[in-house]
Amino acid sequence: MFGRVTPALRPSLLSPIRSPCLRRGFAQETSFPKPLKLKGVLNSLKQFRVTPTVGTEFPEANLVQMMNAPNSDELLRDLAITVSRRGVVFFRNQNDMNNDLQKKMIQRMGELVGKPQESSLHIHPVLNPRQAMGGDDLEISTINSRQRKAVNGKATPRDLGNARQALEAWHSDIQSEQVPSDYTCLRLTELPTAGGDTLWASGYEVYDRLSEPMRKFLEQHTANYTAPFFERIIKNAKIKVYTDARGHPENTGTPLKAVHPVVRTNPVTGWKSVFAIGAYVRPGSINGLTPPESEMILDWLMNIVLRNHDLQCRFRWQGPNDMAIWDNRSMVHNATMDYDDFGERFGQRVCGIGEKPYFDPNSKSMREALAEEGEIAP
């Protein structure tokens, strides 16, 4: 399918790439990356849209074969662009994937679309191998139901104790870092017999559903992104924070807090996305507003996600080594905690580090850009 497959990764996949855009993602710079175009090298693969707005599944593709193909860089570059355009992509039965290959894939995808050369893979500040059941690789975060129950106790839909729990679970990975994530890849290796689906929602679509005056208003503001849920885990489980560099020289120490735009531009697509959605933005987070004003706006943005299921997609993990790859710059996601009576859920997560979030005033909305491309917007 992709040419001769070799047992080891091609050398080009392991060497760093240099891009003229490597430094342009930083918020203080005035020159922004130009949107990247697909070359079409994935067109021959069987694929379908999970929904018109969000998600593409490649039901028969093999990621390790793609990584070993003679044109692996072209394939992974188009894969990264596809993830950024569609928000999330899915693969089934990736049984020859392992942790090292998963890490190399996410790092290379980021490099091929211009991530800063200082950015590598994230090390979780709390749930990492220095903690019990954290695995043995600092750059692998385990999605671990046993660990969750040990830290938080068993949680069922009928006994959550907090009516907002499901709402607060929506998030984009590690927004509280100074330089947050570009791509995340999750591979589940142990599944419950029922439940545990993951949902994604599009920040592009949230932006597209705002009025023009509201867009302009939000584009002028930043927000404080914090991680109080990690602080609770640190306190309850007596865990120490990993304070060394977490995938970027600026991601060090504590507190776990950063200031980012409310609306950011995805450097790969050039599309605007509402970034201030989910668990990392608290009621008084938007700078320049009173706490009640900030809470009102953040609740309203969250409600756009909750009330518009057509900007979401839901993925059912069917078997071990099913995989999802998504772009944290433009998506929020939420795991469904409904499986405690149906078995354990375990997986390996790799979280790449991208660029500092920025807003380019000349960037476009997703629907505006798709219309200019001649593609039918959902």
Rounded to whole angstroms, what are the CA distances from 331 to 55, 86, 219, 236, 264?
A: 11, 10, 18, 29, 12
Average pLDDT over residues 126-139: 70
Q: What residues does each domain of the chain span?
A: 32-373
DSSP string, 348-370: EEEEEE-------TT-B-HHHHH
Residue with more model confidence, 84 or 231: 84
CATH number of 32-373: 3.60.130.10
Cα–Cα distance between 73 and 89 in angstroms, integer?
18
- Say if residue 144's pLDDT is above 80: no
Residue with more model confidence, 154 or 135: 135
Residue with more model confidence, 132 or 189: 189
- Say if residue 94's pLDDT is above 60: yes
Residue 65 in tokens = 């074969």
Residue 235 in tokens = 């306190």
Residue 31 in tokens = 């020159």
Give the pLDDT confidence score for residue 283 in this predicted structure.
Answer: 79
Question: 183: helix, coil or strand?
Answer: strand
Give the pLDDT confidence score for residue 33 in this predicted structure.
Answer: 84
Winning range, highest mean pLDDT, from 69-73, 137-141, 343-347: 69-73
pLDDT in tens, 221-242: 999 999 887 777 777 667 788 8
